[in-house]
Amino acid sequence: MADLRDHIVQLLGQYSDNTGKSIGELFQKGRSEVENLYYEELLQLWREGKIYVSDVERETRGYVPTKSSKWSIHQLPDYFTLNKSKGIFQIPPEGILDRELELEATISVSNAILSLATSPDGKLFIIGDKDGRLFLGDMSAGKIKKEITGHKGKIWNVAFSNRGDFIISVSEDGTINKWSSDLKNKIETVKASGKITSLEISTNDKSIVTGHKISETSKASVQIWQTSDLDTDSSFYHHEKNVYCVAILLGGKEIISGDSNSTLIHYSLEEDRVLMTDKQAGTVFCVEVSPNEDFAVSGGQYGVMNIYDLGTQKVVRSIDAHTSRVSSLSISKSGDMIASGGKDSRIALWDLNSGKQIANVLGHSGWVRGLAFTSNDLHLLSGGSDGELKIWRIT
């Protein structure tokens, strides 16, 4: 009978259209005794978790596939499978996923959260909201420990230094603030030209890169600052329209930035030249670089997430990640997972190497505006326009 089961799997494998087949369609057999023989073998394969079925019914021995079911070796939406740990369950539209996001805590800050970050040791988190407030939180306690008014406008980005000894926040009011890691002291502040949309600190903590919108007195720009005193090092004007996201590489030698002109640019500060220009569909709202700096990931206006090989400067995967705008991205500290959040309120986890979706959850009642992994990759934090911060355990 093992040979017959192998034959059944081979038959089902011939169908690449991802549609199930009935017993009759598989074997062109009409006699009930033959159908019963094939059914018992299909049932055994189903019990082993090797195939999937369109319909089940309850009998004295529990739920089993109906004899009129369609069978498939593919994880088709709404088909049923038998899993030792979960029992019988119906396959969701996104398929059976490898990981789960389990909600551990929800913290309300009343106003829309626009940005968040976690400390290098994973003990703290920082939130920026639409009213210019900053919130410092304790991960183990799952609560806010300090709140201050940090800016006069929306705080579009916040970041801990890689050593964890200071915090940087930027706002649409054009200010960059440097804070002590406990948020008790403002160490430095500077007024930049134009509204600031984005921020990243170099891995050596020596430089900050910021993205800027067009203003009455300045063009769209990417600007580099010294973290020590917030003095500006240089400004770049290679974007024609508003810059919405930035990333910094190689200890401040290269930058990647995206704009509202559907353009992502990889620029070498050391060589003073553009390494890559990629036109996307719609505004590029977010970009992240993997810890080993081999890959960059961008999120766009129409829900598409692109993964770039920075060695070849080519898109290696383009994924329909969300039904509308990709509004936030984060890459795990191990570099193997991408977290994406969208205007569709969903949070998804992706395998960076394969591009496969490994988790998906309805995370908020509004846009997912910020995402951040903890230092050990065991938790993911999400912030939404619904004013809630959520702490998820990754299992």
Which residues share a beta bridge with 227?
none
Domain membership of residue 155 (yes or no) is yes
Q: What is the mean pLDDT of the chain?
A: 91
**192 and 55 share a domain?**
no
Q: Is residue 95 part of a domain?
A: no
* pLDDT-above-70 percentage for the chain: 94
Q: Which domain range does residue 371 map to?
A: 101-394
Torsion angle, alpha carbons of 273, 277, 283, 287, to 10: -70
Do both 291 and 177 map to the same domain? yes
211 and 357 fall within a common domain: yes
Tokens 């020596």 belong to 206
Look at residues 90, 112, 131 and tell me which one is the last residue of a structural domain: 90
* Residues 148 and 255 both lie in one domain: yes
Query: Looking at the structure, do residues 350 and 222 belong to the same domain, yes or no?
Result: yes
Distance CA 182, CA 372 (A): 19
Number of domains comprising the chain: 2
Q: What is the CATH number of the domain that holds 224?
A: 2.130.10.10
Position 225 scores a pLDDT of 96
**What's the confidence (pLDDT) of residue 384?**
97
* d(C-alpha 127, C-alpha 152), whole Å: 15
Tell me what pLDDT residue 315 has.
95
378, 375, 380: which is closest to 391 by C-alpha? 380
According to the model, what pLDDT value does residue 30 have?
A: 54
For the chain, the straight-line distance linking the first and the last C-alpha, in angstroms and rounded, comes to 38
Instruction: Say whether both 53 and 185 belong to one domain.
Output: no
Q: pLDDT by residue for the chain (395 residues), tens digit each?
A: 557 777 777 777 776 556 788 887 877 655 566 567 788 888 888 888 888 899 988 877 678 899 888 988 887 888 888 876 667 777 776 666 778 899 999 999 989 999 999 999 999 999 999 999 999 999 999 999 999 999 999 999 999 999 999 999 999 999 999 999 999 999 999 999 889 999 999 999 999 999 999 988 889 999 999 999 999 889 999 999 999 999 999 989 999 999 999 999 999 999 999 999 999 989 999 999 999 999 999 999 999 999 999 999 999 999 999 999 999 999 999 999 999 999 999 999 999 988 989 999 999 999 999 999 999 999 999 999 999 999 999 99
Is 108 found in the same domain as 83? no
Is residue 44 situated within a structural domain? yes
Residue 58 lies in a domain: yes
**Do 308 and 374 fall within a single domain?**
yes
The verdict on 53 and 165 lying in the same domain is no
Q: What is the pLDDT of residues 264-297, one digit of tens each?
A: 999 999 999 999 999 998 999 999 999 999 999 9
CATH number, residue 34: 1.10.10
Same domain, 41 and 128: no
Residues 314 and 390 in one domain: yes
The span from the CA of 29 to the CA of 43, in Å, is: 17
| Sheet of strand 113-118, all strands in order from the earlier edge strand to the far edge | 113-118, 124-129, 133-138, 143-149
What's the confidence (pLDDT) of residue 96? 64
**Rg, C-alpha atoms of the chain:** 25
Instruction: Judge if 81 and 171 occupy the same domain.
Output: no
Of 60, 90, 120, which marks where a domain is finished? 90
Three-state SS for 337?
strand
- Report yes or no on 96 lying in a domain: no
- The answer for residues whose C-beta is within 8 angstroms of residue 257's C-beta and 6 or more apart is 198, 211, 222, 239, 243, 245, 246, 247, 264, 265, 267, 287
